[in-house]
Structure 1
């Protein structure tokens, strides 16, 4: 069955027949079998269309080199999606057996490889154009269990290329040596299933009552093995279930190969007969094939990648060391969490010997590690057991080589690259704590760190120095040091460097000394210039640098000897204390904490209903009952659980409001009973109709009161006119818009004349302002109405954007939200307290730069009185170093103590707060230390 897109024309059929005739003739000359109508699965393959398809894609080798391309070719032939990898390999085999040699001869113009390494082999891989008898070795025969979806030698798809020589020797993509093909540095081992003998007799029959469908679904199958007891009944159940759940494997099409006979291929049959005759001896007996001698490197895949790298590194061969170091860097980076030195004896020593070769690149020396010296060490020998105590003197006595750092030879660059890769491997592996603890006991590594840190100041060794510093950062936590240790001196020497990375790493390495040991990190012998540089670096706007400097100063000032050295040296400590005090507020954020004082004050309830503003009445008259009465109640009354209004007074107020002559009586009002029910419905939270007992029972509405100031439908307050009238009382008419209140004051109180255009006539005269509490134009008059009108603007309500929008005719959710605002409660004054918060950790405790700064200040305040210098110096009587250093900043420290909450313990130190354990009150401890020292 051909693909649907193959042309079904007479011309195509003629071309196809001519092509098949030429290919068949070529195979007869070559002595190979040709199948003109091969089958893949259940379908017949058109060789002419397959030929054209492969040539369009670039030929057999190119199609085989590209991953999954044979599967795409198989999709063009409609081979189906089930078991497509296997079917694609069969299609590849069809081309390989019938057309590959013809392609090489006709298209590429070359002689194809012999049939022994072409048609007689499987179609796995490509590289046919470069395949010769010399460079091609057939893969050893392996017994392969044909599973569904696989074909012998196909690897499920046949897309993996034929292993070339470079791949067999191992490459970047094939970490194992010996021709293993892999896509990673490691391969998961094959799953092994322990053999479990079947102890059930072959003649035993399962019980007829056992029904596998009746077994519970959650029953666990007990494993069979050497440690489990034998249960025949349970074994029978397992067998029964296994039989019932058995499904046969799907049938796969078989690739049939014809037998070579004189009838179908006389040339090939004759060639095979001649080959058989050549193996027969003179006596007519076949010559026995003696076993061949296994040549070196054949038949054995070689050691795994780890052993291979170790052996290659120790071989001393440059190419082998390149291979080893390349893969060690990759392994240490990708598998450093599991790659341990103790698992590969000699690897750490081999890497150290490699990095020690850096000395010969810059000095006339070849460092040698001597583990059992017979006498004094030579100038180029290092003590491998105890460490070289005079390594710095040996380095100083070396004769440097004349090198130009701008131009390097190829040999120099290759050697330095190998050394950098070895150092990088050590650096990657010591990131694992087990490796760091292991290699910290190897003394030659400490000698290498001293050598690397004291190399000439050239750009080519910068990378190696950084690797050495990072290695030291991980190892110093397992090492004790004294002031004469060469590595300790080398790390202190980096404090005078101009490289920020070197300074940071060396500070961290010095701070971690003896961190995991019982010994105390003394940090003695630090030169004055190093401490001065650290003090200067505190001024930088670099948090990483400031952190590292403060950590070092905290360890340094914890020792009395070091503090005494600071006081007796020429170092000025006053700028240091001032800078540390400033860092107490590093990254501070001001936080407002509002505190309420007292209880809200209640104003007395009004005794009568306020006059409804004209603006409100205009909106109410556009509503229909019962909504109008509900809105009116919301605007003129408010909830109050302690107050009440009689029902008759409430009804009369409603009647008077909506039965005035100027109202539209056609809309009508609610009956008294319906109105009282509407009150409880409107104020559903607190209002309720009740009967008040007494000599004369009263019908009241409990839970509401009159509003002193009406509100709008939207919940905004009206503003009252505070003009003092002639009778001495305030006007108290309510307005919402400033225009209406302005017109009311000018026309009703001032008596200004209105022109025909509706504007006021600006007349000259004496005008006074009688607004309550106003002193402007109270004793002195305004000379014109315009000046008085300009002054009245300060008394008018401010225009509200929300109030200027059209009123909503329904009781909206915004209005319901504003009902909680009680106008009769006087707001409680709020005291705003501002606090300063610096960095805290996940538990809310002080952290970061402010914490480190206060700890250094506390160390100084505690250790200065114990020093010899402080006890022998007196400035003005009782004044000592503590007063000199801390008195100028004491006020600022108290200010920080009052506002910075993370640095102050809120729990009183004298209280027993075991349930509320808190961190130490660092600032209080600092101030106590200053007080005791003073």
Structure 2
């Protein structure tokens, strides 16, 4: 038995909650028949079980903590168990929880029955998985059963058994087999400096004197001294490592009760049985079976994999087994459909087909039987030929006696059976999305018979899901199939085009359009009813891109056959179809104007002097600091030009003339000449550079910039120049950004008008003449009032800028947009209107416009080959069908050909086929 407990430590609280918890645990272990230690000792401390239980439960429980790497070591640190040999302390803490709290956690927290003590408390704490541990799936290891259950005490999940080294059975070991026991480490010989030449009298047995041939003066060689020597006269020279050595503190032993035949005979017998079974398993022999020779599940053969299990369950005919199989097959086909192939599981496709064929038994008095026989004769009404198919399946379905099914109220048996059939159909549908599976089942004729049966079921809501699965399957299979006009599946697909279900119509159209896609035989689409053709033509008028695209794909293949075109123009009014196809050429079209230039731009010479700085811009520049001010001044009055240059002295003088008079007012000193020149190159980084021009007179220039003709503001907008001329013919030359400031400038500065307090001008009488450049408005008759003159002068004002003015306190970066050179005048240009429709990544036509023009081209090519065309031409005054259909839309086709580049080659081919010369 365990030794009596020591006095309660201060770390364990003496509270009511703790007392009640320990009492519950004591009663629980008494009922379970296991040993309980209220205050287990881990290391040098007793553990508070209540605190340990709460901490582990908060972290998810024993299994969760055991799955996390080094989690028990972290718990050991939280409980302050010490740092010496922390892995062993962590395992001791884990064992304390495992023995005393694990079963209680499963019962109280998870609400489950804990495993028997034979596989819980009586085994080692290595690993986890207590919630799923049972007698069937858990077999303790031989070492744990034999009592070596403490070998894992060096870590959280135990230390692996040490493999036997080859050196342990070498002849030098005397033939002794250590079986994983650890050898004592070799004794360390600490180096001691020799202080005398006297040789040691007593040498350790492990030391060997050097041989005379290697050391001629062997009498002068000295043996190393240290812990391996039995005599050391120089104790004062010992190593500090020896003197400061402290032994590792001893770990207290954890005592556990021993099960004997005297104190627990039943438990002792069970352990003996487990020991024998483990020994047999370790030797490779199978333990003897239990009662009656029955092998318990999980104790021997694990059984087939999930795929074979599902196949066997599906074939069993047991509803519960089929529910299990179909549930897993749907999940597998959805999640692993890219790897799950019918070829790997023979018989699965046949079993699924037999299951979905059971749908007929819910609505008809029939039980289909699939027979794989050589003879063609299938006289039975409930027989499906698995080898050659059932060509009269539609007749058999029509002759079957029907069962009255209420679509609103269904029995439980009916719902369960229909659910299984839907799951089987869904499994097939998911699997045929893989090309290998689709090709594999395309050769199974019973599947084609099922599709015909499913598409001809009664028109009830309960079978809508199954019909959609059947259509999805058909869409994947038809590209590997070829149909004639009497094929039951082909007829069934065409019948779906007379329904009102948009989803069914779309899928049926795609399935029909894919017929023979991967075969050499062409899809002729013969035998299409006139009602179906008319529905498809009518659906092209709808505002539904998916439906219109599917209809055009069908019409493209349908009009590629001359007989179909002959049937079309004979039975249907084709003129509305052609008009609609021409309108679809502009589906989602975008009109864009593209400018084309004729010639090359003209270059303007650089002005002889710098432009005047506008007053508005000067106010904004004075609010900036250097070097931002000089940079913005350069951008406003200069621009890059690789062919021009300006002398550095002229540039520096212009800068001084602009800001020298304002330096004292703004407290912003001017840049030094060298700094200013560097700032020029920084402002115009692309092309401007300071250079020295060689010659008779050496010049320092800035290469790559020129004067602007018109200044720009901080956002890159050009100012407008005042073109008012004085009586002597000299131009004003001032620049203004807003029309208001230029208006006030003309009226106030050039006409001398008196401005009132409200900002308006006094309307005085006088003789007013407009001197704006090349304006002759008042040459013969002058304006008599200022108001009359002001109304006229507004026609010369610049347009109001749409951009927002920059505040005087603007300190941001230069404008982001790239300004075009102002010294290049573009050549004459003209704009052309282009129409852009859907295009692919190669800029070629795609989508609905492409499908529409291809249908029109098929009609133009095949109309002349039809019998209706021959009949029309034989009549007196007969008009060709080509002229009758395409003459009214000829102008529109030419317009599309001229403006739509992507459709240009197709429309050109269409007009050429229709007998027109584009």
Q: Give the whole-Å Cα distance in 2 for the aligned partners of 1:307 and 1:616.
A: 86
Distance 1:605 1:535, change over 3 A: same
- Using the TM superposition, give the Cα deviation of residue 923 of structure 1 relative to its aligned residue in structure 2, in angstroms: 2.2
- Using the TM superposition, give the Cα deviation of residue 736 of structure 1 relative to its aligned residue in structure 2, in angstroms: 2.7
Query: Aligned pair 1:344/2:345, yes or no?
Result: yes
Q: Secondary structure of the equivalent of 1:541?
A: coil
Q: Give the whole-Å Cα distance in 2 for the aligned partners of 1:50 and 1:662.
A: 81
Q: Where do 1:589-738 residues align within 5 Å? A: 589-603=590-604, 685=688, 711=711, 719-723=720-724, 726=727, 729=729, 731-736=731-736
Distance 1:368 1:830, change over 3 A: same
Q: Give the whole-Å Cα distance in 2 for the aligned partners of 1:304 and 1:51.
A: 40
Residue aligning to 2:431: 429
Residue aligning to 1:141: 139
Q: Give the whole-Å Cα distance in 2 for the aligned partners of 1:750 and 1:275.
A: 122
Q: Secondary structure of the equivalent of 2:303?
A: coil
Q: Give the whole-Å Cα distance in 2 for the aligned partners of 1:858 and 1:760.
A: 73
Q: Where do 1:291-370 residues align within 5 Å? A: 292-295=291-294, 298=297, 299=299, 300-370=301-371
Q: Where do 1:26-37 residues align within 5 Å? A: 26=30, 33=35, 35=37
More displaced stretch, 604-613 vs 540-549? 604-613
Residue aligning to 1:446: 448
Q: Where do 1:195-206 residues align within 5 Å? A: none
Query: Aligned pair 1:852/2:854, yes or no?
Result: no
Q: Give the whole-Å Cα distance in 1 for the aligned partners of 2:16 and 2:655.
A: 107
Describe the superposition over 1:631-684 as per-residue Cα deviations: whole angstroms up to 9, x where unpaired.
Answer: 999988878777799999x799989989999999xx9xx9xx999999999999
Query: Aligned pair 1:931/2:915, yes or no?
Result: yes
- Using the TM superposition, give the Cα deviation of residue 445 of structure 1 relative to its aligned residue in structure 2, in angstroms: 0.9
Residue aligning to 2:869: 870
- Using the TM superposition, give the Cα deviation of residue 392 of structure 1 relative to its aligned residue in structure 2, in angstroms: 0.5
Residue aligning to 1:279: none
Q: Give the whole-Å Cα distance in 2 for the aligned partners of 1:677 and 1:111.
A: 89
Q: Secondary structure of the equivalent of 2:569?
A: helix
- Using the TM superposition, give the Cα deviation of residue 87 of structure 1 relative to its aligned residue in structure 2, in angstroms: 6.3
- Using the TM superposition, give the Cα deviation of residue 843 of structure 1 relative to its aligned residue in structure 2, in angstroms: 2.7
- Using the TM superposition, give the Cα deviation of residue 827 of structure 1 relative to its aligned residue in structure 2, in angstroms: 3.2
CA contact (8 A) 2:370 2:384 kept: yes
CA contact (8 A) 1:766 1:784 kept: yes
Residue aligning to 2:264: 268
Residue aligning to 2:392: 390
CA contact (8 A) 1:494 1:503 kept: yes
Q: Where do 1:184-263 residues align within 5 Å? A: 258-261=257-260
Q: Secondary structure of the equivalent of 1:793?
A: helix
Q: Where do 1:29-68 residues align within 5 Å? A: 33=35, 35=37, 38=40, 44-46=46-48
Q: Secondary structure of the equivalent of 1:836?
A: strand
Distance 1:254 1:565, change over 3 A: farther
Q: Where do 1:718-867 residues align within 5 Å? A: 719-723=720-724, 726=727, 729=729, 731-736=731-736, 741-742=742-743, 745-746=746-747, 750=751, 752=753, 760-765=761-766, 767-774=768-775, 776-797=777-798, 814=814, 821-823=821-823, 825-867=824-866
Gaps of 5+ in 1: 159-196, 206-251, 277-287, 905-920
Query: Aligned pair 1:922/2:906, yes or no?
Result: yes
CA contact (8 A) 1:2 1:77 kept: no
Q: TM-score, normalised by structure 1?
A: 0.69
CA contact (8 A) 2:22 2:38 kept: no
Q: Give the whole-Å Cα distance in 2 for the aligned partners of 1:659 and 1:442.
A: 93
- Using the TM superposition, give the Cα deviation of residue 598 of structure 1 relative to its aligned residue in structure 2, in angstroms: 1.7
Q: Give the whole-Å Cα distance in 1 for the aligned partners of 2:895 and 2:264.
A: 105
- Using the TM superposition, give the Cα deviation of residue 423 of structure 1 relative to its aligned residue in structure 2, in angstroms: 0.8
More displaced stretch, 496-505 vs 43-52? 43-52
Describe the superposition over 1:773-815 as per-residue Cα deviations: whole angstroms up to 9, x where unpaired.
Answer: 44555555445212322332332345769997677999x9749
Q: Give the whole-Å Cα distance in 1 for the aligned partners of 2:660 and 2:312.
A: 113
- Using the TM superposition, give the Cα deviation of residue 88 of structure 1 relative to its aligned residue in structure 2, in angstroms: 7.2
Q: Where do 1:431-510 residues align within 5 Å? A: 431-510=433-512
Residue aligning to 1:544: 546
Q: Secondary structure of the equivalent of 2:914?
A: helix
Q: Give the whole-Å Cα distance in 1 for the aligned partners of 2:288 and 2:635.
A: 115
- Using the TM superposition, give the Cα deviation of residue 754 of structure 1 relative to its aligned residue in structure 2, in angstroms: 6.8
Distance 1:575 1:198, change over 3 A: farther
- Using the TM superposition, give the Cα deviation of residue 302 of structure 1 relative to its aligned residue in structure 2, in angstroms: 2.3
- Using the TM superposition, give the Cα deviation of residue 273 of structure 1 relative to its aligned residue in structure 2, in angstroms: 9.4
Describe the superposition over 1:82-129 as per-residue Cα deviations: whole angstroms up to 9, x where unpaired.
Answer: 69996676344312699799x99xxx9x9999977986678977789x
CA contact (8 A) 1:455 1:461 kept: yes
More displaced stretch, 895-904 vs 558-567? 895-904
Q: Secondary structure of the equivalent of 2:293?
A: coil
Q: Give the whole-Å Cα distance in 2 for the aligned partners of 1:368 and 1:651.
A: 102
Q: Give the whole-Å Cα distance in 1 for the aligned partners of 2:328 and 2:116.
A: 38
Q: Give the whole-Å Cα distance in 1 for the aligned partners of 2:386 and 2:568.
A: 38
Residue aligning to 1:378: 380
Q: Give the whole-Å Cα distance in 2 for the aligned partners of 1:64 and 1:646.
A: 86
CA contact (8 A) 1:351 1:423 kept: yes
Q: Secondary structure of the equivalent of 2:366?
A: coil
Residue aligning to 1:579: 580
Q: Secondary structure of the equivalent of 1:833?
A: strand
Q: Give the whole-Å Cα distance in 1 for the aligned partners of 2:573 and 2:858.
A: 17
More displaced stretch, 856-865 vs 32-41? 32-41
Describe the superposition over 1:480-529 as per-residue Cα deviations: whole angstroms up to 9, x where unpaired.
Answer: 11000001000010000111111111111111111111111111111111
Q: Give the whole-Å Cα distance in 2 for the aligned partners of 1:800 and 1:785.
A: 26
Describe the superposition over 1:182-214 as per-residue Cα deviations: whole angstroms up to 9, x where unpaired.
Answer: xxxxxxxxxxxxxxx999996799xxxxxxxxx
Q: Secondary structure of the equivalent of 2:915?
A: helix
- Using the TM superposition, give the Cα deviation of residue 864 of structure 1 relative to its aligned residue in structure 2, in angstroms: 1.3
Residue aligning to 1:900: 900
- Using the TM superposition, give the Cα deviation of residue 859 of structure 1 relative to its aligned residue in structure 2, in angstroms: 1.2
Residue aligning to 1:218: none
Q: Give the whole-Å Cα distance in 2 for the aligned partners of 1:509 and 1:114.
A: 61
Q: Give the whole-Å Cα distance in 2 for the aligned partners of 1:254 and 1:346.
A: 63
Residue aligning to 2:185: none
- Using the TM superposition, give the Cα deviation of residue 536 of structure 1 relative to its aligned residue in structure 2, in angstroms: 1.3
Q: Where do 1:508-547 residues align within 5 Å? A: 508-547=510-549
Residue aligning to 1:880: 880
Distance 1:405 1:67, change over 3 A: farther
CA contact (8 A) 2:442 2:480 kept: yes
Q: Give the whole-Å Cα distance in 1 for the aligned partners of 2:266 and 2:694.
A: 129
Distance 1:78 1:551, change over 3 A: farther
Q: Secondary structure of the equivalent of 2:339?
A: coil
Q: Give the whole-Å Cα distance in 1 for the aligned partners of 2:435 and 2:461.
A: 31
Q: Give the whole-Å Cα distance in 2 for the aligned partners of 1:663 and 1:66.
A: 76
CA contact (8 A) 2:619 2:808 kept: no
Distance 1:420 1:818, change over 3 A: closer
CA contact (8 A) 2:353 2:450 kept: yes
CA contact (8 A) 1:89 1:151 kept: no
Q: Give the whole-Å Cα distance in 2 for the aligned partners of 1:77 and 1:654.
A: 81
CA contact (8 A) 2:397 2:453 kept: yes
Residue aligning to 1:908: none
Distance 1:876 1:757, change over 3 A: same
Of the candidates 406, 415, 418, which is equivalent to residue 404 of structure 1?
A: 406
- Using the TM superposition, give the Cα deviation of residue 552 of structure 1 relative to its aligned residue in structure 2, in angstroms: 1.3
Q: Give the whole-Å Cα distance in 1 for the aligned partners of 2:746 and 2:114.
A: 115
Of the candidates 78, 93, 99, which is equivalent to residue 94 of structure 1?
A: 99
Q: Give the whole-Å Cα distance in 2 for the aligned partners of 1:114 and 1:643.
A: 98
Q: Give the whole-Å Cα distance in 1 for the aligned partners of 2:269 and 2:136.
A: 24
Cα RMSD for the two superposed structures: 5.9
- Using the TM superposition, give the Cα deviation of residue 260 of structure 1 relative to its aligned residue in structure 2, in angstroms: 3.2
- Using the TM superposition, give the Cα deviation of residue 847 of structure 1 relative to its aligned residue in structure 2, in angstroms: 1.7
More displaced stretch, 740-749 vs 438-447? 740-749
Q: Give the whole-Å Cα distance in 1 for the aligned partners of 2:624 and 2:711.
A: 17
Q: TM-score, normalised by structure 2?
A: 0.70
CA contact (8 A) 2:259 2:267 kept: no
- Using the TM superposition, give the Cα deviation of residue 588 of structure 1 relative to its aligned residue in structure 2, in angstroms: 2.1
- Using the TM superposition, give the Cα deviation of residue 850 of structure 1 relative to its aligned residue in structure 2, in angstroms: 1.5
Query: Aligned pair 1:413/2:409, yes or no?
Result: no
CA contact (8 A) 2:451 2:470 kept: yes
CA contact (8 A) 1:426 1:471 kept: yes
